[in-house]
Structure formats: C-alpha cells, structure tokens
Amino acid sequence: PATYTGLFTPIRELFAKLPEAQARGFAPGRFSFNVPGGRCEACEGDGILRYEMHFLPDVYVACESCHGKRYNAETLAVTFRGKSIADVLDLTVDEAAEFFQNHRRIHSRLQVLSDVGLGYVKLGQSATTLSGGEAQRIKIAFELSKTPTGRTLYLLDEPTTGLHFEDVRRLLEVLFRLRQGGNTVVVIEHNLDVLKCADWLIDLGPEGGDRGGQVVATGTPEDVAREPTSHTGRFLAPLLGAGKARGASSRGSRPPARHPPGGGLGVKDPGAFPVRGCRRTFR
C-alpha cells in the first residue's frame, strides 16, 4: 500500500533529509527497495528468497543476507526516531499514523488508509498477499488522497467481501464522502448493509445464472422492499420497516428518495435513468 498510494515517496524524502543520510550522500532513491543502491542485492529488495520445489509448491524463506529487512547495512544505519526504513515498512497503517502524526503530508495519506478500514495492514506488505476487497479499498484510498474533481464515476465489485461489520461501516462512510464530493459511485453488491444505504437500486434476477439477467425492480431501497417478486426486497423489508407494505400499492405512502431520479438533470423518459456527472441519458 505504501508504494501504490504514493505514501512511500514522502517517507523516503524524509529519510534523505536526515543528517546521517546527508552526511553519507544518500538521495531518496537510496531508500527504495525497487532499485539498486540501498536495497539488499541478494534478494533484490524482496526480503525473501524463492526456492522451486519441482513437484510441490515453491518455498519462500527469509533472505539470509538482510534477514528479511530488504536493505543493506549502510541504508539501515540511517534512523528516524529510532526506526530504520525497514522498521517503518514493518509498521501497520495505524501505528505509522501515530508515528508520523507531526508530518502532515505523510499522516494525511495514512489517515485515509485507516478510514477505509486498512489500519491493520503493514506499509510494506506485498500486494500479492492482499485480498480483492483490500486491493479495492487501497484504490479508493488513493483516489481520496488526490485532488477531488467531483466528476468521477467509481465502479466497485463487491467491496465488502470478507469485511467485519465495523469495516463495512467505515467503507460506507468513505463511499458517502465520494458521493458528497459530487462523484457517482456504482456498487455491485449483495450486502444488505450497503443496499439499504443506496440512493438507487437496480435489482437483477429473478434468480441467478441462466435464470436471471432481468431487471426485477428499480428505485430507492424502500421501493425495492415493496416489490413482491424481488428476493432482495424480501430481505430488505425487515431492515427498512417496510415488511407490511410488500405487495401493496405504494402510491401516496412512498418515502422520498434519497436523491430523486432526475435530480435536476431533466430526465423525463420513464425508460431512462440519470447518472450524476454525465451529460447524456442512459437506457
């Protein structure tokens, strides 16, 4: 996550400005594990060595030269508040946020990672060990750390997979931040905690696989909860208190949409739906 989000750049620049680094003539590139110079060349900055086992899965062991630190001894000799660059990469996001709390440029990016529920991930953790949901949230954190435009369409595929309830709540807060910034967020999801918070739902079905693919219901979560043919609506209804209204006409009693369809976009065709930030109508 440190590399993908650009967080590692200001950290390396901070280490390069330390008196010990300047005395040795170290530039920020010295503290990168991706290029020669300051990294351990025995493992090429990976910290581990891979041994092929012809009829068994490959075996990974810590590098005997750097003992998993990724850097050579000269680079590790430069420390900030008692920690080398390798020690910093071994910190979790939450630990690093506290460690760099007086460095706004670094702390702000760490805070975004923590906000999306990645406080437990180590800064130097390999991207190949991250789950799909974690990878998506790192991408969200990267977007949040950029200068907002309010004209971006975000597509997320089941971002809550494997998340604890508390992490789902934190993820929703981040999605709301994107929406409040004028962006459009489209989420493919089955998690009811996410569905009930949506501005607009499109329920596909009625079943899965070959027995699906049709639009069963569209509208606010309350609208879908009232649709008698919607399996999603059947489970949404108890959460929204709309169970008694299932199958009944909602005319005159329909709750207001979180963002009414059309929302000032001038969409009058009932067969069309608006997408905020776009200049054309989609059918």
* 130: CATH: 1.20.1580.10
pLDDT beyond 80 at 144 = yes
177-231: per-residue pLDDT in tens? 889 989 999 999 999 999 999 999 999 998 888 888 899 999 999 999 999 999 9
Long-range contacts of 225-230 (CB under 8 A, 24+ apart): 226/250, 227/203, 230/203, 230/205, 230/206
12-35: per-residue pLDDT in tens? 999 999 999 999 999 999 999 999
Buried-exposed string 186-225: b where 16+ CB fall within 10 A, e elsewhere: ebebebeebbbebbbbebebeeeeeeeeeebbebbbbbbb
187 and 164 in a common domain = yes
127 and 153 in a common domain = no
237 and 178 in a common domain = yes
Residue type, 37: G
67 and 25 in a common domain = yes
CA–CA distance, 130 with 116 (Å, rounded to integer) = 14
Give domain status of residue 139, yes or no.
Answer: no
**Residue ending a domain, choose from 103, 134, 165:** 134
276 and 214 in a common domain = yes
**The domain that contains 180 carries what CATH number?**
3.40.50.300
261 and 172 in a common domain = yes
167 and 219 in a common domain = yes
Residue of 126, 69, 93 whose CA lies nearest to 11? 93
109 and 152 in a common domain = no
Structural domains in the chain (count): 2
CA–CA distance, 187 with 195 (Å, rounded to integer) = 9
Task: Put residue 162 in one of left, alpha, beta given phi > 0 → left and psi -120 to 50 → alpha.
Answer: left
237-249: per-residue pLDDT in tens? 999 875 444 444 4
192-206: per-residue pLDDT in tens? 999 999 999 999 998
Give domain status of residue 142, yes or no.
Answer: no
Give domain status of residue 75, yes or no.
Answer: yes
Give domain status of residue 82, yes or no.
Answer: yes
**Residue ending a domain, choose from 106, 134, 162:** 134
Give domain status of residue 123, yes or no.
Answer: yes
170 and 100 in a common domain = no
73 and 159 in a common domain = no
For the full predicted model, state whether its pTM sits above 0.75: no
CA–CA distance, 152 with 263 (Å, rounded to integer) = 17
- Angstrom CA distances, 142 to 54, 179, 191, 223, 250, stand at 39, 16, 24, 34, 42
163 and 113 in a common domain = no
pLDDT beyond 70 at 86 = yes
**Residue ending a domain, choose from 110, 134, 158:** 134
157 and 227 in a common domain = yes
Give domain status of residue 112, yes or no.
Answer: yes
Q: Tell me the two tokens of residue 125.
A: 């953790």
Residues β-bridged to residue 153: 184
Give domain status of residue 3, yes or no.
Answer: no
Q: Decide if 89 contacts 123 (C-beta within 8 A).
A: yes
Can you give the residue range of the structural domain that contains 58? Answer: 8-134
R_g of the chain, CA atoms, integer Å? 25
